[in-house]
Amino acid sequence: MDNELKTKPLHENLDTAFVNLWSLLRNLMQKGFIGRVHIDLKGYSADVFLNGSTIPMVREIDHLTGAETLEEGALHRLVLRARETPGTITVFEGLREANFTKGDSKSEFAAAQLQSSAGTEPETAREPETKSDTNWENDELTVTPETAVVEPPPEFAPLPPPVELGEVLYPTGSYQDWPAILETTGELIAAIERAVNATGENFDSLFSAVRLELGDDYSFLDPTAHSFHYAGGKAALPAKTAVNAFVAGLSEALRRVIDRVASGERARRVRERVALEMLSVARKRADVLERSGFRAQLDRIAGTRVM
């Protein structure tokens, strides 16, 4: 957008590791929010234009190829991409921000608006039907030959009752309840420890090895620094660190442990066992996992869907 069209952000540089993009967009749509949500990921950016419609316009730009697309109802693709790639979210409020008026795709936008006003939805504007018996294991997406529309996982629909905006926004490092974080961390590691040891491997030795590997990037993980400590389901961190760094480093360490165990013919069986062990913690400690940022990492840690 041109400089004269830019307004002061309502929320700026929200970390996708701590803000659930779909929950945010869904909440804004439920409230009839008028404005624009800008998403910046590595090599990619997108704008969601919210004007009160249940099917907002989405502009996507691939900075690696220069390709730009403008499409109604493309939220599922954007949300899935944001789940896999770290980035930032900025929210702009106002009718001026909600109207797309600049860019190479202006004619395409106008055509889509004309089709909508004429009562004919473009093919991409169709909302895919959610089937109750769809198998979403490993986040596999289904493309129907008739519409070539990617169906979103059940978590994208139906919409739950509205919640306050503050309940879905957790800016980077804002959650500082370390006793709750460390207690939950101990339970999460213990769940993975049970799953790994059940395979005949030694969790302690594997965990120590990956901590040493990651020590240069995450100093609290370095076992020689005597900072982070875990034993018997209890975690301790004498010297506090940034919450986002703690979550990112520990999640990567646990993911590497599981990757070393889940190999060959037993890979799927091991990952399913890990996910099952983690599920009880995910349900019991849902609030802390969500607020700290661990919730967004669970599937990545296990290498399969946890919940």
The tokens describing 248, both together, are 């990112």
Residue 29 has pLDDT above 50, yes or no: yes
Query: Judging by beta carbons within 10 Å of its beta carbon (0-12, 13-18, 19+), is residue 128 exposed, middle or buried?
Result: middle
Overall pTM > 0.85: no
Whether 117 has a pLDDT exceeding 80, the answer reads: no
pLDDT at site 238: 87
Say which amino acid occupies 246.
F
Q: Which pLDDT does position 302 carry in this prediction?
A: 93
Q: Give phi and psi for 119, each to the nearest 5.
A: 90, 5
Pairwise CA distance, residues 133 & 33, whole Å: 33
Q: What is the pLDDT of residue 66?
A: 83
pLDDT over 50 at 122, yes or no? no
If one compares 33 and 54, the residue with the highest pLDDT of the two is 33
Higher-pLDDT residue of 300 and 76 is: 300
Label residue 46 by pLDDT band (50, 70, 90): very high
Write out pLDDT tens, residues 137-188: 444 333 344 433 434 444 444 444 443 434 444 444 456 788 999 999 999 9
Compare 112 and 232 and report the one with higher pLDDT.
232
What is the C-alpha to C-alpha distance for residues 270 and 263, in angstroms, rounded to an integer? 8
User: What pLDDT does 74 receive?
Assistant: 66
- Please state which of the ranges 61-65, 190-194, 260-264, 265-269 shows the lowest mean pLDDT: 61-65
Q: Which of 246, 236, 237 is nearest to 172 (CA)?
A: 246
Q: In 3-state terms, what secondary structure has residue 81?
A: helix
Question: Tokens 């996708």 appear where?
Answer: 16
Alpha-carbon gap, residue 271 to 222, rounded angstroms: 26
d(CA 173, CA 32): 29
Q: What percent of the chain is predicted at pLDDT more than 90?
A: 36
- Domain ranges for the chain: 3-165, 178-302
